Amino acid sequence: MSLARLIDLTKTYRMSAEVTVEALRGVNLTVEEGDYLAVMGPSGSGKSTLLNLIGCLDRPSGGRYVLGGEDVSRLSDSALSEVRGRRIGFVFQSFNLIPQLTALDNIEVPLFYQGMHRRQRRRRAAHLADSVGLGGRARHRPTELSGGEQQRVAIARALANDPLILLADEPTGNLDSRTGSDILDLFDALADRGRTLIVVTHDPQVGERTHRVVRMADGKVAGGEG
Amino acid sequence: MLSFKSTEIFRLGVRSLLVHPGRSILTMLGILFGVTAVIATLAVVRGIGEKMKEEVRRMGATNIIVEAVKPAQSESTTQSDTSGGMAVSYGLTYQDAERIRSSLPSAEVVVPARRIPVTARFLTRRTRAEVLGTVPWYEETYGIRAARGRWLTPLDQHKIDNVCVLGAGIARKLFPRTNPLGRSLWLGRFAYRVVGVVEERGKASGAGGEEADYDRTIYIPLTAAKHRFGETLMDRSAGTRSFEICELHEITVKVARAEQVRPAARIIGGLLERFHDPDKKDWAVRVPLERLEALERTQWLFAILGVSIAAISLVVGGIGIMNIMLATVTERTREIGIRRALGAKRKDIISQFLVETIVLSGAGGALGVPVGVLFAVVIPQLLTKAATMLGVGGEAALSALSRTVVTPGAVILALGTSLVVGVASGVYPAYRAAQMDPIKALRHE
């Protein structure tokens, strides 16, 4: 059974009474466990919309999305939050760390919403910080960390609840090429260990590393395989 | 899990507030002063109430006071003849006192009294005073005490002695530097020897609204009052002369227990109705107990009024909190988006922001209590000082403000209201935060 299946997924945004924008026009995509997938395509091709749907931040207008055997396309807001917290790990282009929290505290946030106890959280956060190579910087606040370090914190946070899918949105977009490739090395290592990763990117370098590339155009999957 | 989560959310709230300590403190001040205002207002109202109740209690909660009422003036002027005035006969009689005593078994004591306005004079000093002719047991009925010397005795009464006991005010006025005991002073045309001075008693308002200033009263034996001053009083104040004939101005009846007060008052009323002219109601029954109960009701009213006004400042404080929280929510839009992406539900976001407002208002309230109590202690002192410096404010007004009482109820009310305000002002900002679209919130710059 596949990890995630998108069946004829559509998303239509209603801008006003007359104007509607069809961001996705029937996307079919199957993600298997252990997949390392790049989603590429020009801006406006529906990449971001697809990412939001896969990440359960939004609900599709039509079609079905089955994640880990559960149809999540019609879930309530609360249930969708639950799915995000348990099954999805997000890595963003601009890191999106909470500025007043230390690196460790940031890593703990998803664990907090899953109701894990404080001491357990601490332990797991410290372990995760080590595993992404953060070393002794774990007690610093985001503003005291370099871009690469911040992205490592974000990756550790995304892994905190041991998600089914790690979703990355232009993870190297705000980093210089050296640091960017360090982060991609980290992704490769995660993929090697069997983690399922979906990376949305413009960067052709990323596409070369992944097992699979899905090209989006005009709200549909244009190339690669569905 | 819920309780575990709530302590965590509390910790989170405190931490978020500490990110902007200055802002949090200023917001808290709004609630702090609101709570201060509520506690101080209640303390003042309560203090005034206690003072008034004490005054009524001094009249005696188990006392029934029958007063002579002078018939309406218009009646006497229309009937006045050219001979320069007429005599109005009214009021209570010795017979009334005797009737009450003999037909009211619950009456422990019956204290008749007579009031005569006089000019009191000692050497070159003179002052307006009121002579109160009464009986020795007046003292215990009204619970007054001689500060110096002694009170009137049965022997004074029996001998119809010209002795007097001075009110505190009179003693100060006529004998500023000398000891009045043993001195003789003039009450109208008669010389009286001072045997005692009573403690301060203050003022009390009578049934007709006129004030009896007990500190300007001079107490003499009732027998002496009857023999020296007679029953006819002349009033020359309005240019014309008028006479009034009145045996007794006041009869105080004391019963043993508070439950006996009302039935006794009814019996006394019935008795007087029977023997007095029904067309000329020249008496009135006053029951201090009823006034005490009425006072308790009015005190409630004033407390509600005062608190409502003070609560306005709490509402203003609440608006301050709401204002800051709305700004905070906008400022932290991105954080809200991140938390939502990481699995926070709407109710998690709501409780996060609600906890912040509750912590703010709770801390403001908790700090407001000691400040409010401090105010309640300092206000009377400051007011007294200010009034004496500016030379304004009557003695009565000052003495009423001289006491403030902080009750646990007031503190609980103030704290409770501040928490309600905290929740109320947090609900809308928290709701706004929770309704944000996570995708848009994440993109917010």
List pLDDT tens digits, range B117-152: 888 999 888 888 989 999 998 888 887 888 889 999
Residue A24, in any domain of the structure = no
Pick the closest to residue A2 from A74, A87, A69, A88 (CA basis): A69
Are the C-beta atoms of residues B244 and B70 closer than 8 Å to each other?
yes
Question: In the sheet where A62-67 sits, what is the strand order?
Answer: A20-31, A4-14, A62-67, A70-71
Interface contact flag, B1 A115, Cβ < 8 Å: yes
- At residue B3, the pLDDT reads 57
Return d(Cα A200, Cα A166) in angstroms, integer: 11
CATH code where residue A139 lies: 3.40.50.300
Cα B365 to the chain's mean position, in Å? 28
Which residues, other chains included, contact B8 with Cβ-Cβ below 8 Å and sequence gap of 6+?
A112, A118
| B145, B198 Cβ separation under 8 angstroms | yes
Is residue A194 situated within a structural domain?
yes
For chain B, give the percent of residues with pLDDT over 70: 88
Choice among A66-70, B228-232, B374-378, B418-422 with the minimum mean pLDDT? B228-232
List the single residue in B16, B340, B442 with the smallest CB-CB distance to A100: B16
Would you say residue A18 has pLDDT above 50? yes
Residue B435's pLDDT is what? 95
Domain assignment of residue A20, yes or no: no
Handedness of CA A142, A143, A149, A151 (dihedral sign): positive
Distance (Å) from the C-alpha of residue A119 to the closest C-alpha of chain B?
12
Phi, psi of A80 (to 5 degrees): -65, -40
Beta-bridge mates of residue A5:
A30, A66
Distance CA B63, CA A184 (A): 96
Long-range CB contacts (< 8 A, 24+ apart) of B377-386?
B377/B404, B379/B40, B379/B43, B379/B44, B379/B404, B380/B47, B380/B404
Residues B345-362 as b/e (b if ≥16 CB within 10 A, e otherwise) read: bbebbbbbbbbbbbbbbb
In single-letter form, the type of residue at position B313 comes to S
What phi and psi, each to the nearest 5 degrees, are found at residue B275? Answer: -100, -5
Beta bridge partners of B89: B245
Tell me: ipTM over 0.90. Answer: yes
pLDDT at A4 over 70: yes
Handedness of CA B402, B408, B413, B419 (dihedral sign): positive
Position of tokens 């961001």? A23
Residues 6+ away with beta carbon under 8 Å from A40? A47, A200, A201, A202, A204, A206, A207, A213, A214, A215, A216
Burial class (CB in 10 A: 0-12, 13-18, 19+), A226: exposed
Structure tokens at B78: 């229309």
Give the span between the Cα atoms of A48 and A41, in whole angstroms: 10
Chain A residues with CB-CB distance to B16 below 8 A: 100
Of A98, A110, A113, the CB nearest to B335: A98
Q: Which residues of B touch A118 (CB under 8 A)?
A: 8
Q: Which of A176, A169, A164 is nearest to A202 (CA)?
A: A169
Exposure string of A71-87, with b = 16+ CB inside 10 Å and e = fewer, is ebbebeeeebbbbbbbb
B237: three-class secondary structure by DSSP: coil
Nearest to A57 among B345, B348, B438 (CB): B438
Q: Does B9 touch chain A (CB under 8 A)?
A: no
Q: Is B385 on the interface with A (CB under 8 A)?
A: no
> Is A113–B346 a contact, with Cβ atoms under 8 angstroms apart?
no
What's the whole-number mean pLDDT along residues B269-282?
Answer: 84
Q: Between residues B333 and B232, which one has the greater pLDDT?
A: B333
Beta strand spans in B123-216 (E): 125-134, 146-149, 163-166, 184-187, 190-198, 203-205, 211-213
Phi/psi-derived region of residue B250, left when phi > 0, alpha when psi is between -120 and 50, beta in every other case: beta
Determine whether B212 is exposed, middle or buried from the number of CB atoms within 10 Å of its CB (0-12, 13-18, 19+).
Answer: middle
The verdict on a CB contact (< 8 Å) between A98 and B338 is yes
Domain presence at residue A51: yes
Is B390 at the interface with chain A, CB within 8 A?
no
Which of A112, A117, A153, A161 to probe by mutation at the B interface, max B CB count within 10 Å? A112
- Is any Cβ of chain A less than 8 angstroms from the Cβ of B386? no
The C-alpha torsion from B368 through B371 and B375 to B376, rounded to 10°, is: 70
CA distance B27 to chain A (A): 20
Which chain A residues touch B5 with a CB distance below 8 Å?
115
pLDDT tens-place string over residues A43-66: 889 999 999 999 999 999 999 999
Query: B151-185: per-residue pLDDT in tens?
Result: 999 999 898 889 999 998 889 889 988 899 999 99
User: Is pLDDT at B77 greater than 50 in this prediction?
Assistant: no
Region B306-324: what's the mean pLDDT? Answer: 89
Which is higher by pLDDT, B213 or A74? Answer: A74
CB count, 10 Å around CB of B110? 22
Q: Do B439 and A81 touch (CB under 8 A)?
A: no
* Mean pLDDT of all residues belonging to chain A: 92
Tell which phi-psi region holds residue A73, choosing left (phi > 0), alpha (psi between -120 and 50) or beta: alpha
CA B287 to mean position of chain CA atoms: 17
Res. B82 pLDDT band, cuts 50 70 90: very low
Q: Would you state the pLDDT for residue A17?
A: 85
Q: ∠ CA(A195), CA(A196), CA(A200), 5° rounding?
A: 130
In a domain, A172, yes or no: yes
Average pLDDT over residues B55-61: 75
**CB contact set of A185 (below 8 Å; sequence gap of 6+):** none
Whether the per-residue pLDDT at A149 is higher than 50: the answer is yes
A97 contacts on B by Cβ (under 8 Å)? 338
Choose the closest CB to B345 out of A57, A81, A99: A81
Backbone angles phi, psi at B242, to 5 degrees: -140, 150
- Cα–Cα distance, B414 to B34 (Å, whole number): 8
Give backbone dihedrals phi and psi of B319, rounded to 5 degrees, phi first: -65, -40
What is the tens place of the pLDDT at every residue in B328-380? 999 999 999 999 999 999 999 999 999 999 999 999 999 999 999 998 888 87
Residue A7 placed within a domain: no
The interface residues of chain A toward chain B in range 61-100, judged by CB-CB distance below 8 A, are 77-78, 81-82, 84-86, 90, 92, 96-100
Report residue A151's pLDDT band, with 50, 70 and 90 as the boundaries.
very high
Quick check: A213 pLDDT over 80?
A: yes
Instruction: Let me know: does B442 contact B337? Beta carbons within 8 Å.
Output: yes
Q: What is the pLDDT of residue A120?
A: 94
Question: What pLDDT score was predicted for residue A211?
Answer: 93
By C-alpha distance, which of B263, B281, B315 is closest to B425? B315
Residue B395: the pLDDT is 59
Which range among A194-208, B37-51, B225-239 has the greatest average pLDDT?
A194-208
Is the pLDDT at A170 greater than 60? The verdict is yes
Residue A11 lies in a domain: no
The answer to whether B246 and B71 have CB atoms below 8 angstroms apart is no
Structural domain including A104 reads 35-61+73-223
Whether chain B has a CB inside 8 Å of the CB on A113: the answer is yes
The mean of the pLDDT values for chain B is: 84
- Separation of alpha carbons A23 and A5, rounded Å: 19
DSSP secondary structure string for all residues of chain A? --SEEEEEEEEEEE-SSS-EEEEEEEEEEEE-TT-EEEEE--TTSSHHHHHHHHTTSS--SEEEEEETTEE-TT--HHHHHHHHHHHEEEE-TT----TTS-HHHHHHHHHHHTT--HHHHHHHHHHHHHHTT-GGGTTS-GGGS-HHHHHHHHHHHHHTT--SEEEEESTTTTS-HHHHHHHHHHHHHHHHTT--EEEE-S-HHHHHHSSEEEEEETTEEEES--
**What residues of chain A, 19 to 58, have a C-beta less than 8 Å from chain B?**
52, 55, 57-58
pLDDT band at B326 (very low <50, low <70, confident <90, very high): very high
Would A15 be classed as within a structural domain? no
If one counts the domains in chain A, the total is: 1
* Structure tokens that stand for B39 in this block: 């506690």
Asked if B165 and B197 count as a contact pair (C-beta separation under 8 A), the reply is yes
Distance CA A8, CA A28 (A): 5
Q: What is the pTM of this model?
A: 0.72
Which pLDDT score is estimated for B310?
A: 85
Chain B contact set for A75 (CB, 8 A): none
Radius of gyration of chain A (CA): 17
Max alpha carbon distance in chain A (Å)? 56
**Residues paired with B187 in a beta bridge:** B120, B190
Query: Confidence class of residue B79 from pLDDT cuts 50, 70 and 90?
Result: very low
pLDDT tens-digit map of B27-49: 999 999 999 999 988 898 888 88
User: Residue A50 has which token pair?
Assistant: 């697809």
Confidence band, pLDDT 50/70/90 cuts, at residue B80: very low
Supply the pLDDT for residue B245: 81
Spatial distance between the Cα atoms of A145 and A102, rounded to a whole number of angstroms:
10
